[in-house]
Amino acid sequence: MQDALDELVSLLDLEELELNLFRGRSPQEERQRVFGGQVAGQALVAAGRTVEARDVHSLHSYFLRPGDPQVPIIYQVDRLRDGRSFSTRRVTAIQHGQAIFALAASFQIGEGSVEHQAPMPEAVPPESLPDWNERFAAMEAKGETLDDWMHWGRALDMRYVDETDYTGAQRQDPFWRVWVRTNGKLPDDSLLHRCVATYASDMTILDTALRPHLLVMDDDMQVASLDHAMWFHRPFRADEWLLYAHESPSMSNARGFATARFFDRDGRLVISVAQEGLLRTRG
């Protein structure tokens, strides 16, 4: 699995074309559109390449148009502000002359302060749960159909504390937990770890809004991320286990809203996430 992780790291290593201008590529796969976590992660890389000695502490983004996986993505960075403690960047992702994604990110120097946090939910340890190969082998053995999109997370080791039913056969609580880490080691680069977490954060969060409803994740369901926000609270490593706990407070007007939190093995809250997405049944 290290090869898949190396490919992800390569995917996030943008080409610098000019000052504040970067180019990213997509995997050579038969996808209809670019995965949202990819463009968000690449946009954060572009922003981070223009900031020195400061870590990203928040990002807010909008998915404007579907990305074309067959052509490169151009990332244009605007350096909005560099203050004594904070730097702010705006990134526009462009394809075919149009903006497909917009991100604003804020970076801060490290500072000490008093602390508090929400408690970590209880969860069985990841070592006791089936890995990707074991989980999907069991699904195939039961005759469940696996869509191609379910195979493109191999750079990540994801262990499901709570299973999600994608067949629409049962209603489930709008809360679930997943352990996640990379399938291999990452370099000691805090920006890279935060970009990988950004990539991973888009993989499961929107599913949370489907759990209470008898909706089937198939070709008749139009699913798209609309906006995505993250707050990075404490240092972490994306190649060590993080518990990703999701909750969906609302679903209405064909839009599902979900929040989520990443905790490390010591119970430290390291990231908070919020996303709204389109969940529309065609026909």
CATH number of the domain bearing residue 216: 2.40.160.210
- How many folded domains does the chain comprise? 1
Q: What is the separation of C-alpha 22 from the centre of its chain, rounded to a whole number of angstroms?
A: 21
Q: Is residue 120 part of a domain?
A: no
Q: Is residue 57 part of a domain?
A: yes
Q: How confident is the model at residue 183 (pLDDT cuts 50, 70, 90)?
A: very high
Is the distance from CB of 190 to CB of 52 less than 8 angstroms? no
Q: Is residue 11 part of a domain?
A: yes
- HSE-up of residue 34 (Cα within 13 Å, Cβ side): 29
| Residue among 84, 8, 21, 17 at smallest CA distance from 47 | 21
Q: Is residue 119 part of a domain?
A: no
| Residue among 194, 231, 246 at smallest CA distance from 61 | 231
Q: Is residue 89 part of a domain?
A: yes
State the pLDDT at residue 200: 95
Rounded CA-CA distance 46/21 in Å is 8
Collapsing DSSP to helix, strand or coil, 12 comes out as: helix
State the pLDDT at residue 27: 87
Q: Is residue 165 part of a domain?
A: yes
Q: Is residue 18 part of a domain?
A: yes
Which residues are catalytically annotated? 202, 225, 275
User: Which residue range forms the structural domain that includes residue 160?
Assistant: 2-110+127-281
Q: Specify the DSSP element, H or E, that contains 164.
A: none
The tens digit of pLDDT for each residue in 111-154 reads: 989 999 999 999 999 999 998 778 777 777 766 655 554 555 58
Give the global pTM.
Answer: 0.93
Residue 255: CB atoms within 10 A of its CB come to: 14
